[in-house]
Amino acid sequence: MRPNEPRHRRASGPGMALAVVAALVAAFGTVQGEPLTVDDAIKLRRAAFALQGQYFGQLKPMAAGAVAFDTRRADALVTRVTALSQMAAEFFPAGSDQGNTKASAAIWQRPDDFAQRERALQTELAALARSVQASDENAFKSAVATTSAACKACHEDFRAR
């Protein structure tokens, strides 16, 4: 930046970071350390699931052969889906079956089954990550299918339609 360029022109740096935090607080009404409301938890997990859907959705055309198998891109996508799925699982506080949500009350009635579905997804994602690291396209194709089945299994049991 030239010395007399106005600060607000900068598109990065601390000012930008603060603007991002301010936008997040405006969107989710929460700051670090404050207790999360049920509505905020719902917004956060839905955002994490929406991103999971977006990133996992990019793996499907690769598995179908419509897009070339690109191990670098696939690795990045699997890493994101894995992190996002772990984040989503952290935002199911008691009472958050009520509100702008499709989460089924069964999540809180059968928490062990819900946790088992979550673990099953992590197991499939780990196998998917291994197939990408090994550049094994056939293993990748079947792992995308079994991972997708793990997503659907949980939705069938725990997401209201």
Note the residue count of the chain.
161
- Among residues 21 and 160, whose Cβ is nearest to ligand HEC? 160
**Minimum distance of ligand HEC from residue 41's CB (angstroms):** 9
Stretch touching ligand HEC by CB under 6 A, among 14-22, 64-72, 110-118, 130-138: 110-118
Decide if 77 contacts 55 (C-beta within 8 A). yes
Stretch touching ligand HEC by CB under 6 A, among 20-28, 32-40, 135-143, 148-156: 148-156
When asked if residue 101 is in the footprint of ligand HEC (CB under 6 A), the reply is: yes
- The single residue among 50, 105, 134, 149 that binds ligand HEC, judged by CB under 6 A, is 50
- Residues 94, 100, 104, 109, Cα dihedral to 10°: 10
- Among residues 15 and 95, whose Cβ is nearest to ligand HEC? 95
- Among residues 13 and 99, whose Cβ is nearest to ligand HEC? 99
Stretch touching ligand HEC by CB under 6 A, among 2-10, 16-24, 130-138, 153-161: 153-161
Residues that bind ligand HEC (CB under 6 A): 42, 45-46, 49-50, 52-53, 56, 81, 85, 101-103, 114, 117-118, 121, 147, 150-151, 154-155, 158-159
